[in-house]
Structures are given as C-alpha cells and as structure tokens.
Amino acid sequence: MDYIPWPDPTFPREPAYALTFEGGGPYRLLIVPALFDEGNRLRRLTVEVQRRLAGRHTIASVLPDLPGCNESLVRLEAQDLASWRGAMEACAAHIGATHVLTLRGGALAAPRALPALHYAPVKGAAILRQMLRARLVSAQEAGRTETRAALEELGHTQGLDLNGYRIGARLFSDLKQAEPRGDAQDLPQSQIGGAGLWLRAEPGESPEQADTLARAVAEWVERTALP
C-alpha cells in the first residue's frame, strides 16, 4: 500500500494523491469512489477489496479522490460531472489503467474509454433525493420551514449545502439528470450478499463482502481483458 501522485487537471499547481496497491500482474484497476457520505461509509470496504485484489489476484488498483472530496485541495462547489470525469480520465491515463471499477455514484464519473464495472450503481437523482430528504428532516428538527421545491430551485440556480457538502449549481443540475454508462457491466448488491454497507449509519466493514466483491471484480477483469 502506498500513495502516489497524479496530475489532477482541476488543480494543476500541485499533484493530487491516490491510494495504490501493487499487484504484480498485467492489470491496473482505477477505482472511482462512491460519492459524499456513501464514500465515507464504503471507504473501508474499498480498501479491503484493493488489498485482496493485490494479494490474491495480482491486480494492482488505484483509488484517487474526486476533486473537491476528501484530501483534494480544490473546492467541491467549483466541480461538475465533466470536471470529475476529466480528472478520472487523467488519473487513468497517468497510471496506465486497463479497467475501471466504480462504487455507487462513482459510476457517474467513470472514464468512458475503458471497460467499466459498476458496483451497485445509482442515478444522480436518487443521490440528490436522499440528501434533500436529510436536509428537510434536519430543518424540521431545527424548527425551520423548507420545501423540496424551493431547495431544488436554489440548487439549480445558486447551489446548495447538503449534509455538509457545498454542491454548486452545475453539479446539482448534472446530478439531477445523470445516469451511469449504459455500456458498463453492473454488479448488484444481490450478487455480493447482505445489505449494502452504505446503508449503515456509520462506516463499517464486512470481510465476507470484501472477499466476494474482490473475487467478482477479478473474474470480470480476466473476462474482459484485451488479448
């Protein structure tokens, strides 16, 4: 396990960094993380899948932060799906990725030129709906009056604070209509077993799910590898 620099086009003054596991085999997997709170809840699972891919299946993997998220130095408010996708394409090119694995909403930012496997993909509208619901509940508990229609209008015109994330108007509008790539293969949670870890209130782990997901990813990589 190591951290490697990569050239994030949204912040050219300094390199961004990505968590990497070297596998010793011919394949390099770019992992596009889940979005917002789901990314936090799935972080341990993601890293454990990387560890298993490298150790048992000799597949190297690289996990970058999306611009504006986690350790990224750029503002989330300035991002949109095009900037996220461009950053993931730049990272894929830099590391020589052969395949892409996305988790949940990360499917919306997947590079388009590589074979992609979407783990439990979700539409952007569903992500926003969940985050808006959480904001409405928080407002009600605090004695504020807010409506979904007014929040959506504000999101489209000025951007919006949702669950501690400042989402700009461009990203809000992008997410409202974004869907995962239609040419990618989907891996639903039903094939992994158990409830998705993104449903938990706090970040958690499941060695069983990590084993099953890593095995499914390795089988897919072998199946879709170019001759």
- The pLDDT tens digits for 153-197 are 999 999 999 999 999 999 999 999 999 988 999 999 999 999 999
130 has a pLDDT exceeding 90: yes
pLDDT of residue 225: 77
26 has a pLDDT exceeding 80: yes
* Average pLDDT score over residue span 65-84: 95
- Asked if 186 contacts 193 with a C-beta cutoff of 8 angstroms, the reply is no
Beta bridge partners of 181: none
200 has a pLDDT exceeding 70: yes
Burial class (CB in 10 A: 0-12, 13-18, 19+), 68: buried
- Asked if 130 contacts 116 with a C-beta cutoff of 8 angstroms, the reply is no
pLDDT of residue 226: 62
Please tell me the pTM assigned to this model: 0.95
- In angstroms, rounded to a whole number, what is the distance separating the alpha carbons of residues 44 and 47? 5
* Average pLDDT score over residue span 83-99: 97
- Mean pLDDT for the chain? 94
- The pLDDT tens digits for 97-121 are 999 999 999 999 999 889 999 999 9
151 has a pLDDT exceeding 70: yes
Of 106, 130, 133, 131, whose CA–CA distance to 117 is shortest?
A: 106
* Average pLDDT score over residue span 16-23: 95
